[in-house]
Structure 1
Amino acid sequence: MKRYFIELAYKGTHYFGWQRQPGKISVQQSLEESMGTILGAELEITGCGRTDTGVHAKQYFAHFDYEGEFPAEFLRRLNKFLPKDIAVFRIFEVQLDVHARFNAYQRSYEYHLSFRKDPFVEHLAYFYPYTQQPDPVLMQAAAELLLQYQEFAPFCKSNHDAKTMICNLTRSEWVFYPEEQRAVFHITSNRFLRGMVRLIVGMCLGVGTGQISMEEVKAAMEEQSRLRKATSAPPEGLYLGGILYKTGDEN
């Protein structure tokens, strides 16, 4: 038996996230069924983490165990068989004890925000439709504030199974593109809590529009309590952007 890593990307619009769910289509199910059909074997593929309904992944890793041989042009055949919104870039062998989820030491997410309606990026960015535009200076200040903390209970969904709220953030910043009327939030950490990035984006927008004060954010972080106006940004703007592993096999 050998263990293999899969590097892939997907547009999550039509999926109920990565993980299999009864009666709902998922990326995991689509990949397992497509690979199983070509290989003539039932596979169980383990992903590097969950993504919610409608969330995308520019880079995603998963692993599976398989003892057979791959047919000729397997990768090309697999991509032809898969739906158009899932692409597999490569499949490579790793040591049997390397785990797609537990061996990852750094994850990066992006959140794409558009202040101009654009039908060509529908489902690929969140169109901010409100008249009052958020202040980019305040949004940036709110994002940078989070780098001072290690516990993030205010930005964790209530239905979580996390044993700790500690996350080691190394990046939290907005990049603005005024000419294109859009912005991208970048955040990097060793781990993320359930719903964390979308709640942070919602907070930044709240601060940028004056609905939430910086003092309220600071108090919530100091007390590890919920914000008075906790808002989760829509899923279509969120992308898993990249993952790094201790083994170095992802490079």
Structure 2
Amino acid sequence: MNTIRRYFAEICFKGTQYHGWQVQPNAVTVQQVLNQMLNTVFRQTVETVGCGRTDAGVHATQFYVHFDVSDVDMPFEEQRSLNSLNALLPYDIAVKRLIPVKPDAHARFDATLRSYEYRIHFEKDPFKKDLSWQLRDRPDIAVMNKASAILQQYRDFSCFSKSNTQVFTNNCMIKEAVWREQADGIVFYISADRFLRNMVRAIVGTLLEVGRGEMAPEALHDIIMSKDRSNAGTSVPACGLYLTAVHYPYIESQN
């Protein structure tokens, strides 16, 4: 009799060379590559379920997947399996740890909080290519933070979502939204219970319009209440976006 065991894998990846997380026809994705390596290591068909989806070019410093394997004593072989996976995976995908979980644990539906960063720099730097977005002029951080605070007053963020997405609701609870100065640029930090497709990149693009003086911070009220994507700003490039944390009530974070 086969014993089926469920595990979480905490991974990280540089998304530059991939068409996002989720398997797609005629495109190389992070999930496709990870599934192939899991199949090789465990010598069986392994299908992963991710904690969400990322667009092409988006990175993740923390991303969780769950998968099932049969007749494998994973706790005993955990380090060996981890080493084998990382030896097979390309340089831009790494598995940090393998975690045994209950059979009904779910990487997507059990997550209680997700955090993103959007990174911007201003000086030409070849080491930031594909890892941050370069702007010529510095926006006004103070007014952007004034606008960012407005986000926490609302729940329906249809105005920042791609159209025709297969979700039951566009409601999200934003816990944090703030810009901070860094030595080499600025970073936008945002955390919420869930995010819509393209939501963070649309928010950043809108806030940058505020920071450039193209609209007042208070304009966010009308944009959000309109529930119309055409009223919000242009989405910023994927290269500066990172999924940085995903929280579960039964997994101790190592961030």
Q: CA deviation at 1:225?
A: 3.0
Alignment match, 2:19: 16
Q: Does 1:126 align with 2:133?
A: yes
TM-score by length of 2: 0.92
Q: Which residues of structure 2 form unaligned runs of 5+?
A: none
Alignment match, 1:163: 168
Alignment match, 1:210: 213
Name which of 195, 200, 204 aligns with 2:203.
200
Q: CA deviation at 1:133?
A: 3.0
Q: CA deviation at 1:138?
A: 1.4
Alignment of 1:122-161 (within 5 A): 122-129=129-136, 132-161=137-166
Q: CA deviation at 1:223?
A: 3.1
Query: How far apart in 2 are the matches of 1:227 and 1:136?
Result: 24
Aligned-pair Cα RMSD in Å: 1.6
Q: Does 1:95 align with 2:102?
A: yes
Q: Deviations over 1:166-186 (max 9, x none)?
A: 111110000112x42x01100
1:175 match: secondary structure: strand
2:152 match: secondary structure: helix
Alignment of 1:1-251 (within 5 A): 1-69=4-72, 73-129=80-136, 132-177=137-182, 179-180=183-184, 182-226=185-229, 228=231, 230-248=233-251, 250=253
Query: How far apart in 2 are the matches of 1:249 and 1:28?
Result: 24
Q: CA deviation at 1:230?
A: 2.3
- Number of residue pairs aligned between Structure 1 and Structure 2: 247
2:112 match: secondary structure: strand
- The answer (yes or no) to whether the contact 1:220–1:227 under 8 Å persists in 2 is no
Q: CA deviation at 1:7?
A: 0.4
> Percent same amino acid among aligned pairs?
42
Query: How far apart in 2 are the matches of 1:144 and 1:116?
Result: 28
- The answer (yes or no) to whether the contact 1:9–1:60 under 8 Å persists in 2 is yes
Aligned AA (1:163): F
- The answer (yes or no) to whether the contact 1:203–1:212 under 8 Å persists in 2 is no
Aligned AA (2:142): V
Query: How far apart in 2 are the matches of 1:161 and 1:231?
Result: 22
